[in-house]
Structure 1
Amino acid sequence: MNDKMTVAKCDHAHGGHYRALALCKDADTGHTREFEGDWRDNGSWSKAYCQGSFRNPSAGIETKTT
């Protein structure tokens, strides 16, 4: 991880899906925005990136059943 990226990985998805979530903050305005990674189901890394002037993500994960 760095000031623009966060990751998520699930070794046992049990047929479901997961993705990384990054809640990022704009240092100039203080606004926050959520950015999502790709949906995964196979134990590989999902990566979520802060875009533009947004930085310093708080990491999260979202799951769904298929």
Structure 2
Amino acid sequence: MIYNEADAEMLNDLKNRLENEGAKIEIIAPSMAPVKISDGTILLPHHSLMLRFIMYYFRK
């Protein structure tokens, strides 16, 4: 999960390590709005917490 001003160095390091092991990275954020991390990079979430909550709630 990411948020505005998340540590870009830590995020990129984690992303690179996981991808090197074959993982597929998908970004989760509080909403589907673009997120600006600490180095100014803007990331677009693949999923949002709010959308996941709504989908879970209505599947019950």
User: TM-score scaled to structure 2, two decimals?
Assistant: 0.28
Bigger RCO of structures 1 and 2 (CA < 8 A, at least 6 apart) = 1
User: TM-score scaled to structure 1, two decimals?
Assistant: 0.27
- Larger strand proportion, structure 1 or 2? 1
- Larger helix proportion, structure 1 or 2? 2
